[in-house]
A and B are shown apart, each in its own frame.
Chain A
């Protein structure tokens, strides 16, 4: 090995702690990229493979009652490859020992055997025997949560009749990768499941013998989905079709897509931040290292090494640091990616998992990681190549200090000389101080953005549970009923107040833009479920016109005062021109609202409801549940405290994990920056600091010069760090919002305070770590030579 390369290895070893600090920061950037793209790619590949193998439908439609004879006509729609009809209904399940009734969706299995579309994958047992009317298959998550296994039975209330059903097998379906009940915000495996039942008994119970109410299509390659949907809507309209839709509106797929989008956004937003910071760090370490190496560089030049050879030497040094970081990032990214992908299977149920992070993410992150260090090293290396050889001949000269306004100000304040040393050092090398400040600011920004997610979720929770939904219980009704049912509900056990709600599917159109959504009718006197204005305060329902959430208004390109066409996708299936009266804030979901009298006037109908929101005496809940189970009109009960606690549990668990990871990254950056700054400071000033000790200053006083400067720089980093954190949070809020949930940009003071505090403490610890080395400095040798 060449002597110069040997020097390289020794330098890397000598600087191991600094190299490690750089490698850690760089590794974080590489890791985030590998992690996010790896998880995203794995989930996407898994999803695509699963959808394909299980023949997940591409177009979905429901009707109230369509004759089976319609099916051939549907299959003849151009570009339809396969059409399959079935019966679907919601039922209540009465499990022993469960107070709150569970809900399930019953789907029929064709008489011929396994379905052609949305094929269930049997996980345990088998599909129901077509000859046995009481056999069913149950979604695996529901069965697992309730201890149901093949061979066991349970009671379901099918259209008011209690029926005992026997479990033949547990299955998963591509339709329910993310299984969430209607109106729920989070999956609740204990209280919501899917049941596959033979067609004959299912149709008999639903009163749909010889008919269907649910349909799936697969299309030919290159088909136009909108054209097929339009044709299908025309065919189904007479039978109560509520508007066919593609996978983009399918609940499970929408959640899954949202997740993949978020992962994709993470891969784009986060890694550059870490890579930029590590580029800064490399720049900082290398340029100071090269400054310390000036005599060696002069010497090499005097010996006849060319500028290019010397530049290559220092470039190799930085690439050495880079390689360490990249390898570290790869290993961490691979491992964490596998863990994360596994974690997703808690919420997204796939029968198998393909973990394939893909070579591209490794290649790209490796190149970006090395690119960052090379870029960081570039300036320093170039100046090393340009250094004049004669500097080797010069004895080390003391740096030139100048007096400036700071000195005048400091003198006025009668600062101590050690404090003056700190101030002079900063003003003498402002560029170097700026790099330290920027590095710490980046760390603070990461920390702010990290804790911002808690603020934002708290805002969503506050909005959803405190401001909007103040009811305790929501009863889902099996069908639309006259609003007078409210009076009957008021007599249910424990009910204090009843408010009715009515929702129906609509298509909103403005110009060429349109959106499928749900419109909700609200009574002006409602106090349980409220509509919020942009600032989050309860707003009165305008007597006329639609209230749209911001996201929907943006999608349609409308503002208050404009009007949209509202086509009802349920009887009476008419279209109306409706003004937009206001735009409101809504983080979860995308519903439109209208005042109930206005809607029913348009529909020329007496007011109806299909949901009841209740304020209840919680002591009486058990009897309320019992009454709800017995009432055929009720096909679902939602308890909002349950929803809330599930939401909290899920979000907290997920978020805490993520936040911990990113908080660690933020701390690593701070430590990396400050540790490096301190080490360099120490080697540059060991002579000066040792002289102070010789003059009789105590360790604490000398340590103050070193630690004080770094802490002062950390304080300087706080304002730009907060600013950066705000920008970073805004990026996250924009990048991570999906159709399902919008991330509001709210940052609490607490978040700023915590982020600043963590960075300050991390910086202090890093500086103290280096200060300890001061104790080990041998005064005699420090005065004789430099490190």
Chain B
């Protein structure tokens, strides 16, 4: 982890309007993420965590405010540039694994490596998450935890600079969750991937460099984690 700023977020707001009702999901967020760090985002349901992560990953745009990645301002980019940003720099891991059901584990990873510049071999990525022996299994033939690890392998296979994870262990039990977290931990440690991880599980905060707490669309606290733990030490 360094002190160089990777993401800079200024005065970010997001309002969803459905018919007559409008919901303010984010109400003025100012935030910085550093190169190589692993942050955990905590907060009650509906506090805007997913919304923030989507905007960081250029899946969605803010209503007002600015997002900078290194020297580029994401908020000023058009759709094609945002697509290219995601393609080159960002990996996602979702709560609902989101694998393509008609592709095997290896092929799900290959889907990404085929369109990136300096990817790992799909086999290597799956090896890293401990699935080197399950290359040719379809998602339906894998357990939830295994599916999630395939999703992580898919996310890290292109050696992204940013890894954004929305409740990656939300649907998993403790032991399975730990193997998933280990995969993320190692990717951050070995590849220096900036990792942002949303969770409802406060125990997980112990593997982070920093913890950012959201409530009601605002950042309410940012804590440094002095005694980081390996995921293997975490239990819930």
Q: Which residues of A contact B (CB under 8 A)?
A: 2-4, 6-7, 10-11, 14, 295-296, 299-307, 388-390, 392-393, 395
Contacts and interface: CB of A to CB of B under 8 A. Distances in A.
Contacts of A392: 59, 92, 94, 98
Nearest to B109: A3
Nearest to B95: A395
B114 interface: yes
B98 A7 contact: no
26 contacts: A3-B107, A3-B114, A4-B114, A6-B103, A7-B102, A7-B103, A7-B107, A10-B103, A14-B102, A295-B96, A295-B98, A299-B100, A301-B83, A302-B59, A303-B111, A304-B86, A304-B88, A304-B90, A304-B115, A305-B83, A307-B79, A307-B83, A388-B60, A389-B60, A393-B94, A393-B166
Given A10-B102, A11-B102, A303-B92, A393 B54 contact: yes
A296 to B, nearest CB: 6
A63 B100 CA distance: 84
Interface string B6-36: 0000000000000000000000000000000
Most buried by A among B79, B86, B100, B103: B100
B100 A303 contact: no
B103 A393 contact: no
The 3 closest A-B pairs by CB, nearest first: A304-B87, A10-B102, A304-B86
Interface string B176-194: 0000000000000000000
Contacts of B84: 304
A390 B60 contact: yes
B138 to A, nearest CB: 9
A296 B103 CA distance: 11
Nearest to A2: B114
Contacts of A296: 98, 100
A300 B100 CA distance: 9
A303 B103 contact: no
Interface residues of B, number: 32
Nearest to A303: B112
B114 A303 contact: no
Contact of A299 (B60, B83, B88, B98): B98
Contact of B111 (A4, A11, A388, A395): A4
B64 interface: no
Given A3-B111, A3-B114, A393-B166, A302 B103 contact: no
Given A302-B86, A302-B92, A303-B87, 16 more contacts: A2-B114, A3-B103, A6-B107, A7-B100, A7-B103, A10-B102, A14-B102, A295-B96, A295-B98, A301-B59, A304-B116, A389-B60, A390-B60, A393-B53, A393-B54, A395-B95
A393 B50 contact: yes
B214 interface: no
A307 B80 CA distance: 9
Given A3-B103, A305-B115, A393 B59 contact: yes
Interface in B90-141: 90, 92, 94-96, 98, 100, 102-103, 107-108, 110-112, 114-116
Nearest to B87: A304
B57 interface: yes
Interface in B50-69: 50, 53-54, 57, 59-60
A17 to B, nearest CB: 16
Most buried by B among A11, A304, A395: A304
A87 to B, nearest CB: 80
A301 B80 CA distance: 11
Nearest to B114: A2
A304 B95 CA distance: 19
Contacts of A2: 110, 114
Nearest to B164: A302
A314 to B, nearest CB: 13
A303 B94 CA distance: 12
A527 to B, nearest CB: 77
Contacts of B59: 301-302, 388-390, 392-393
Most buried by B among A300, A392, A395: A392
A304 B58 CA distance: 10
Nearest to A391: B59
A395 B96 CA distance: 7
Most buried by B among A3, A296, A388, A389: A3
Contacts of A307: 79, 83
Nearest to B85: A304
Contacts of B88: 304
Interface string B196-211: 0000000000000000
Nearest to B92: A302
Nearest to A396: B96
B19 to A, nearest CB: 10
Contacts of B112: 303
Contact of A303 (B50, B96, B102, B115): B115
Contacts of A302: 57, 59, 86, 90, 92
Contacts of B110: 2-3
A392 to B, nearest CB: 6
Contacts of A4: 111, 114
A72 B52 CA distance: 103
Contacts of B54: 390, 393
A149 to B, nearest CB: 68
